[in-house]
Amino acid sequence: MKTVARKLRRDGRSIGFVPTMGALHEGHLSLIRRAQQMADTVIVSIFVNPIQFGPSEDFEVYPRDLARDAELIANKGVDYLFAPNIDEMYPEDFVTYVATEGLDKRLCGSSRPGHFRGVTTIVNKLFNVIAPDYAFFGQKDAQQTIIIRRMVRDLCMDTEVVVCPTVRESDGLALSSRNQYLSPEERQAARVLSRSLQLCRQLYQEGERQVSKLITAIRELIEKEPLARIDYVAIADVDSLEFLVELDEEDPALVALAVFVGTTRLIDNLILKPETES
């Protein structure tokens, strides 16, 4: 892949890169479409990165179907697929990691120790192989986008990070490869994540600025759903990820949550901004 990327650069072709773990869905495809609009050549990677999974997490059972994914993206006109194997990425004596200290312990980082260090390390490696002009990430993983942006800035990487909106099912559930784990009852119950964020947005639009009140409203709604168990609900600064107490009229705020539905951990988020919101 490195040689291909080097040649593309030599030929003056800009590279758009979409890193994924496969089990591709419309969320991934939206990143690919954006990449195709912005870059001459689009490279998609599929790699289920072992070092971003905790010992009791779903690395072994994470959905994998490389043949289907490869066909799907070929049909969408993606130029190159990079699907390295684990030994290629992590030789036995691998010892070098990249960490965004502090940011990686907040929100999802507190329930998934080591997760973001795994993410920043693999993204760094993939960027070193591909040296993309643009890299595309989904707002669905809000903390990941904040951490990657910070890594790119702190390490003077020559890649522009482009964040694309969360793609949702018609009932609001954010698309995720992990939605495949849900039983039909759990799938219904999973609607509570986006519903609780919509409630938060509504209260915010009605003028509520007390974080504790917004969080209580979200928690109360989720707690009514018997199949759901809250991991965390937080409202934080969009750069530092520090918890906020009261929202002001200038700065956007990240509302982020992680909820177990049955045994499946789902995440979702919303950015609150004074005039507009996403």
Interface residue list for ligand AMP (CB under 6 A)? 20-21, 27-28, 30-31, 137-138, 140-141, 164, 166-167, 174-177
CB of 212 to ligand AMP, least distance (A): 29
Q: For residue 197, what are the CA distances in angstroms to 136, 159, 184, 204, 255?
A: 24, 32, 22, 10, 8
Q: Which is nearer to ligand AMP, 144 or 244 (CB)?
A: 144
* 8-state DSSP, 141: G
Catalytic status, residue 28: yes
Q: Which is nearer to ligand AMP, 186 or 214 (CB)?
A: 186
CB of 11 to ligand AMP, least distance (A): 27
Q: Would you state the structure tokens that stand for residue 75, as one six-digit string? A: 């049909």
Q: Would you state the structure tokens that stand for residue 228, as one six-digit string? A: 């759901």
Q: Which is nearer to ligand AMP, 41 or 45 (CB)?
A: 45
Q: Which is nearer to ligand AMP, 28 or 150 (CB)?
A: 28
User: What is the number of the residue whose Cβ is closest to ligand AMP?
Assistant: 138
Q: Which is nearer to ligand AMP, 164 or 215 (CB)?
A: 164
CA distance linking residue 85 with residue 166, whole number of Å: 28
Give the rounded distance of the alpha carbon of 197 from its chain centre.
Answer: 17
Among the listed residues 244, 263, 233, the one whose alpha carbon sits nearest the alpha carbon of residue 107? 233
CB of 90 to ligand AMP, least distance (A): 17
Catalytic residue among 5, 24, 27, 28: 28
CB of 176 to ligand AMP, least distance (A): 5
* 8-state DSSP, 51: G
Among the listed residues 208, 148, 194, 156, the one whose alpha carbon sits nearest the alpha carbon of residue 17? 148
Give the rounded distance of the alpha carbon of 64 from its chain centre.
Answer: 18
The angle subtended at Cα 151 by Cα 11 and Cα 90, nearest 5°, is 75
CB of 22 to ligand AMP, least distance (A): 6
Active site residues: 28
